[in-house]
């Protein structure tokens, strides 16, 4: 039973109240992750699939709650439907200690869905059904001031390129304007997390990334994504580029290799743990983001934050799926 969901009215949006967790502790710092959570169907045996929930910023919210739940209040902002699967999804949020008071209930919508499959070599690939998902309408009909009123109560905000890409032009514009409004009050962390199929074209994606770079106190940039969009291959060049666009602190991620951090003109390189043999790299970047942003929000140094991020990601890649069950 989901105690946090109230019935949907004729309005597209309702502030979803919840009772399963204690009230927000104002003495602790808070962070809200903005984005989409989807139904995941992963293959098991004999043609059967296991159902779970995942999504890039949701994965980050989970790892923030698991790693820093004693020190941070973690919330998730998205749109959900009024259906049974949405209720199960909210239950999954709450079971991870993620606050759900900012979820928007969208009438007539349901969660998006994706299926994981493997080719002959064992490589994973994904098929998505998300065009009508509730998350794509989370700010439908909201102006920037209303969005800002929701966001300003958090000490930190985390979003990704997918968070932007799933929204239509009006919602994306109003969200970005809202981030400008709340920037003096909230630390903003951004991961470009590029998915070509979600964007109308790469020029719109590039423009959105530059807008977020200007807003980002922390930009967590994948080397692979940046190469795809801008064809710059040097981590030094990537960091300098994002800094020139306005990001205060740039972290260039490079898979299982060293990450590069640029802040105040100084560059720091931090190595991952050695001897790690990945089983599944799904969710590695999301967990890295959780480790880094959580540590920085708790005022740890950039090197300490990167070590924390590498450590969490090293654990995640040793389990199958985006959310490690061994934590």
Give the C-alpha separation, 10 to 8, whole Å. 7
Give the C-alpha separation, 147 to 149, whole Å. 5
- Beta-sheet pairing, 218-222 with 187-191: parallel
Q: Give first-to-last CA distance, the chain, whole Å.
A: 25
**Which residues pair with residue 30 across a beta bridge?**
73
Question: What beta strand segments (E) does 145-258 contain?
Answer: 156-160, 187-191, 218-222, 249-253
For residues 43 and 117, the answer to whether their CB atoms sit within 8 Å is yes
Question: In Å, how far are 60, 105, 151 from 16, measured between CA atoms?
Answer: 21, 7, 15
Question: Could you confirm whether 203 is annotated as catalytic?
Answer: no
Q: From the candidates 56, 140, 191, 286, which is the catalytic residue?
A: 286
Give the C-alpha separation, 290 to 309, whole Å. 7
Scanning the structure block, which residue is given the tokens 């390189």?
269
Residue 297: helix, strand or coil by DSSP?
Answer: helix
- CA–chain centroid gap for 170, Å, is 21
* Backbone phi and psi for residue 272, each to the nearest 5 degrees, phi listed first: -80, 175
User: Which two tokens mark 227?
Assistant: 């190469």
Give the C-alpha separation, 299 to 249, whole Å. 14
- Does the CA dihedral 257-261-267-269 come out positive or negative? negative
Which stretches within 19-167 are classed as H helix? 56-68, 84-95, 144-151, 161-165
**Residues annotated catalytic, as ranges:** 286
């Amino acid at each position: 039973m989901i105690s946090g969901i109230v019935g949907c009215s004729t309005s597209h949006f309702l502030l979803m109240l919840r009772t399963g967790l204690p009230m927000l502790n104002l003495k602790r710092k808070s962070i809200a992750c903005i984005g989409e959570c989807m139904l995941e169907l992963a293959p098991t045996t004999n043609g059967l699939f296991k159902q779970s929930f995942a999504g890039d910023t949701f994965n980050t919210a989970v790892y923030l709650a698991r790693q820093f739940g004693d020190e941070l209040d973690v919330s998730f902002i998205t749109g959900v439907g009024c259906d049974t699967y949405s209720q199960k999804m909210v239950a999954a949020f709450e079971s991870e200690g993620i606050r759900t008071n900012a979820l928007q209930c969208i009438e007539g919508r349901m969660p998006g869905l994706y299926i994981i499959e493997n080719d002959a070599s064992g490589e994973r690939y994904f098929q998505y059904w998300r065009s009508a998902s509730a998350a794509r309408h989370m700010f439908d009909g909201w102006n920037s001031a209303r969005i800002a009123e929701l966001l300003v109560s958090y000490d930190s905000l985390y979003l990704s390129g997918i968070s932007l890409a799933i929204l239509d032009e009006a919602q994306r514009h109003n969200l970005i304007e809202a981030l400008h409004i709340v920037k003096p009050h909230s630390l903003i962390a951004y991961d470009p997390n590029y998915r070509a199929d979600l964007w109308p074209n790469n020029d719109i994606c590039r423009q959105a990334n530059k807008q977020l770079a200007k807003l980002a106190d922390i930009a967590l940039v994948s080397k692979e994504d940046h190469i795809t969009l801008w064809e710059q291959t040097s981590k030094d060049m990537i960091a300098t580029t994002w800094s020139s666009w306005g990001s205060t602190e740039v972290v260039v991620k490079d898979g299982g290799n060293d990450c590069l951090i640029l802040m105040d003109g100084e560059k720091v390189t931090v190595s991952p743990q050695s001897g790690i043999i990945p089983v599944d790299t799904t969710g590695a970047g999301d967990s890295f983001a959780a480790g880094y942003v959580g540590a920085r929000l708790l005022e740890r140094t950039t090197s300490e934050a990167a070590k924390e991020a590498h450590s969490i990601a090293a654990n995640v890649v040793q389990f199958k799926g985006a959310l490690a069950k061994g934590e």
